[in-house]
Amino acid sequence: MRPLIQQTLHSNGYGWEIPPHPAHSPDLAPSNFHLFGPFKRHLGGMAFETEDDLISELRNWFDNLDVDFFRVGINSLLSRWQKCIDLHGDYVEK
C-alpha cells in the first residue's frame, strides 16, 4: 500500500513520478546532512548547566546563521536526489 502522500499525489492527477526511497534517508534530509554537523561542531567542547542554557545557545546559533547557509543546504538537495535516483536508492553520502 502506498503512503498517504503518495496516494494523494497519484489520485489527484498531478502527474508526478514518485520514485521509491527509504522511509528515512539521512543523506537526503537537509537537517541531517547540512544542519546537524555544523551545529555539532559549534557545540563541541561546550558544557551546559541547564536545558535552558542549551536552548539559548541553539537559538543564538540559529539567529547568527547567514541566509546563504540555508540556501546552500536546500540547493544541494537537487544533486543529492539525483545521486539517489542514479544509485537506485542506495546511500548517497557526499
Mean predicted confidence (pLDDT) in 4-10: 71
Phi, psi (degrees; rounded to nearest 5) at 25 = -125, 100
| 73 neighbors 28 (Cβ within 8 angstroms) | no
pLDDT digits (tens, 9 = 90+) for 71-80: 888 888 778 7
pLDDT tier, 93 (very low <50, low <70, confident <90, very high otherwise): low
Question: What average pLDDT does the segment 15-24 reach?
Answer: 62
Buried b (16+ CB within 10 A) or exposed e, 37-54: eebeeeeeeeeeeeeeee
Contacts by 25-34 with C-beta closer than 8 Å and gap 24+? 25/84, 25/89, 25/92, 27/80, 27/84, 27/91, 27/92, 27/93, 28/77, 28/80, 28/81, 28/84, 28/92, 30/73, 30/74, 30/76, 30/77, 33/73, 33/76, 33/80, 34/72, 34/73, 34/76
Whole-model pTM: value is 0.56
Q: Is the pLDDT confidence value at 24 over 70?
A: no
Query: Could you tell me the pLDDT band of residue 51, with boundaries at 50, 70 and 90?
Result: very high
Q: Is the pLDDT of residue 21 over 60?
A: no
